[in-house]
Amino acid sequence: MRDGFTLLEVMISVSILAISFVAILSANNRALMMSAESVSLSRAVTLAREELERTQIEKLKLSVGVSDKKRNKEYPGLAWRFKVATTPFGAVKKADIIIFSDDDKKERAIVTLSSYITK
């Protein structure tokens, strides 16, 4: 009887290790992608909050309808529109800010924040 491993045992061990490494690397790659997406979403939410707050503080003259596309140098790659609608409560308007990617032609919303603004 000889001591040691057979070639078959070594090949099976190496294949198990290879499969394990592939699973670990794909999980790590997915975590990196989710982290980047999280940063992008956080930037969009921060921009939406800043612009909505600016609107409420300055009491901008918001006309009912959808605004032109706007950009901010501090948030490259993002753009937004205001959507203002009337409410049954007279002087109260509903303001939605829609954040989307600047290069997205269809302007699919990343984040939509809503607020009610009074004059």
Answer whether residue 64 shows pLDDT above 90.
no
Looking at residue 48, its pLDDT comes to 92
Higher pLDDT, 2 or 28: 28
State percent of the chain over pLDDT 70.
Answer: 96
Domains of the chain: 7-118 (3.30.1300.30)
- Cβ pair 77, 103 in contact under 8 A: yes
How far is the C-alpha of 105 from the C-alpha of 118, rounded, in Å?
A: 33
What mean pLDDT is predicted for residues 12-16?
96
Looking at residue 59, its pLDDT comes to 66
By C-alpha distance, which of 39, 78, 84 is closest to 65? 84
Looking at residue 92, its pLDDT comes to 87
> Which has the minimum average pLDDT: 11-15, 18-22, 70-74?
70-74
What mean pLDDT is predicted for residues 96-100?
93
What mean pLDDT is predicted for residues 86-103?
89
Looking at residue 44, its pLDDT comes to 93
Answer whether residue 117 shows pLDDT above 90.
no
Query: pLDDT tens digits for 65-75?
Result: 888 888 888 88
